[in-house]
């Protein structure tokens, strides 16, 4: 692989990641999809063997998909592990809010007034 193929491969990966992400609006996403398709097509055309270029492009798409699946699974595991702590924090917060609502403004419970 020459420098041109490396550049086209990196461009494809960047454009493909932007295309499937939620960073851009619909018009910009269409432009990025077109750029990804053009860079992938140019990469395949620049390859010595077309089949190898197509397979490498397909493997890159598959690798991005596997990466996203692993990231999503880790996010779900972390959210499940933190759910009890978050629930106890929310419960404690709601108990504190209800206790504060019962107190009259300007009066500190349990404080003694000395004059």
Q: Mean pLDDT per segment of 10 residues, for the chain of length 115 residues?
A: 89 91 88 94 92 93 92 90 67 64 62 65
DSSP letters for 38-87 = HHHHHHHHHSSSHHHHHHHHHHHHHHHHHHHHHHHHHHHHHHHHHHHHHH
Comparing CA positions, the residue from 59, 9, 1, 55 lying closest to residue 36 is 9
Q: Is the pTM of this model over 0.85?
A: no
- The domain spans of the chain are 3-102
Res 15: pLDDT: 93
Long-range contacts, stretch 102-106, CB < 8 angstroms, 24+ apart:
none
* Cα dihedral 46→48→51→55 (10° resolution): -70
Phi, psi torsion values for 93, nearest 5 degrees: -65, -45
Model pLDDT for residues 91-113, shown as the tens digit of each residue: 566 666 666 666 666 666 666 66
């Amino acid at each position: 692989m020459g420098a041109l193929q490396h550049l086209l491969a990196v461009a494809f990966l960047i454009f493909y990641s932007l295309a499937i992400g939620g960073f851009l609006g619909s018009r910009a996403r269409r432009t990025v999809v077109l750029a990804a398709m053009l860079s992938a097509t140019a990469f395949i055309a620049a390859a010595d063997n077309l089949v190898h270029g197509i397979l490498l492009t397909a493997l890159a798409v598959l690798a991005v998909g596997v990466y996203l699946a692993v990231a999503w699974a880790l996010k779900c595991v972390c959210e499940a592990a933190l759910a009890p702590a978050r629930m106890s924090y929310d419960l404690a917060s709601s108990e504190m809010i209800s206790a504060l609502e019962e107190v009259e403004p300007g009066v500190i419970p349990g404080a003694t007034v000395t004059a």
